[in-house]
Amino acid sequence: MIEYAIPVTDGTANVPLPPGLRHGHQGKAGFDPDRVEVALDLVAAEIAEGRLSGAVVAVTRAGAVGAYRAMGWAQYHPASNRRAMALDTLFDLASLTKVMATLPCVLRLIDQEAIRLEDRVKTYFPAFTGNRKDDVLIQHLLTHTAGLAPWLALEQVPGSRAELIDHICRAPLNETPGTKVVYSDLSFILLGELVTKLTGKPLDQYAREAVFAPLGLPDAGFNPVPDLKHRCAATELREYLGRHQVGEVHDERATRFGGVAGHAGLFATAAEVAAYGQMWLRDGAPDAAEAGPHLPPRVLTQKTVAAAIRDLTPGLTDGRGLGWMLLRPGAEAMSCGSLFTPGAFGHTGFTGTSLWVDPARQLVVTLLTNNVHFGRSDVAIRLRSRFHNAVAAALC
């Protein structure tokens, strides 16, 4: 480990972990300790050289922790509010919301036969019709092949939540459904509203009850209460607020939805993100070792998990499952680098967050940064692939 003049807290031993994760000797967990440090040094160097404010890293294999470290600052500006990054820092996960909150909620409804992938979107949103929209299926929304625009300036649209959804439904398609992968926040905003339509509960409430509580993730949720804000990583300086945002959603469209939207708004710790990734390696099951004799119900069924991480966009440019990015053989410029196994799946978030799962290696890699605290840059984008390559190289 290279010594840097930044705050560093290691959590590979003697700190609480969520269900599904356990402390373990790096060698027994299948990691070369020296090479793990090489990966962590890549992150620390970005912080020490002033390009990144801070980060928390959690790397696990079959649930055993190979690396768990907080580095740098949760808040750097202004100097009067400077705070070191901690292992339990809460991050605005941005688009990880799509796969950590909205996706499992929708998949649970599929498991319960409340909805089918083949259902037409107009069945649930009658205004979603015309201009080829009659052919858009729920699966198209989940695979970003609906033909919707990447986003709309909803922060500039007046009206209620229902009127915002109506505005999305009436927007024209940019592509023929099923012919092109175009990453779209709008698809997941609709999916988040679909959860509410089918359950009668807001997305944040249903996600807490159906996903986070069964997994033992008490901090994961939307709109952190004021008492938690001192644990939140700061994001961007907002001129209109006259300060950096802390503990409030960074995404402008999610702000327009009151901080609860299907595409962004979720906050969680790095350990919670890693535990969620581990659930996918357990085929949707809670952690049996932690649950005792009375297991909580499965979050997802094994068949639904398998369907979600199957390549559903063959012949199209990007590999997509349900919600997840998929690593195809020979894929280029993926955020997981070039050394993960084909079939790995993951996602990123605009604030500087990412989660990647490599089932063939039982590997879960969580890299959470508050990249936007120093302004919008490509630092996290450049770091991700290098970091994931170094983690893959550390496997024994």
Average pLDDT of adjacent 10-residue blocks, the chain of 396 residues:
85 93 82 96 97 98 96 97 98 98 98 98 97 96 98 95 98 97 98 98 98 96 97 96 97 98 98 98 81 70 97 97 96 92 98 98 98 96 97 96
pLDDT at 331: 86
Judge contact between 318 and 338, C-beta under 8 A.
no
Sign, CA dihedral 71-92-352-143, equals positive
Place of tokens 């993951």: 346
Q: How many angstroms separate the CA atoms of 89 and 232, rounded?
A: 6
**Burial 51-83, CB ≥16 within 10 A → b, else e:** ebbbbbbbbbbebbbbbbbbbbbbbbeeeeeeb
Return the structure tokens found at 101: 């909150």
pLDDT at 139: 98
Global pTM value: 0.97
Residue 224, classed as helix, strand or coil, is coil
pLDDT at 335: 97
Q: How many angstroms separate the CA atoms of 368 and 355, rounded?
A: 8
- Residue ranges and CATH numbers for the domains of the chain are 8-89+268-393 (3.40.710)
pLDDT at 292: 52
Q: What is the DSSP string of 44-110?
A: HHHHHTTS--EEEEEEEETTEEEEEEEEEEEE-SSGGG-EE--TT-BEE-TTHHIIIIIHHHHHHHH
Total length of the chain: 396
Judge contact between 195 and 105, C-beta under 8 A.
yes
**Residue 78, preceding peptide bond in cis (omega within 30° of 0):** yes
Distance of alpha carbon 189 from the chain centroid? 15
Which 8-state DSSP code applies to residue 269? -
Closest residue by Cα to residue 304 from 97, 103, 110, 99: 110
Torsion of CA 94, 327, 306, 216, to 10 degrees: -40
pLDDT at 297: 77
Closest residue by Cα to residue 369 from 238, 189, 262, 236: 236
pLDDT at 334: 94
Kindly state the helix (H) or strand (E) to which residue 365 belongs, with its residue range: strand 363-369
Q: What are phi and psi of 357, to 5 degrees?
A: -125, 125
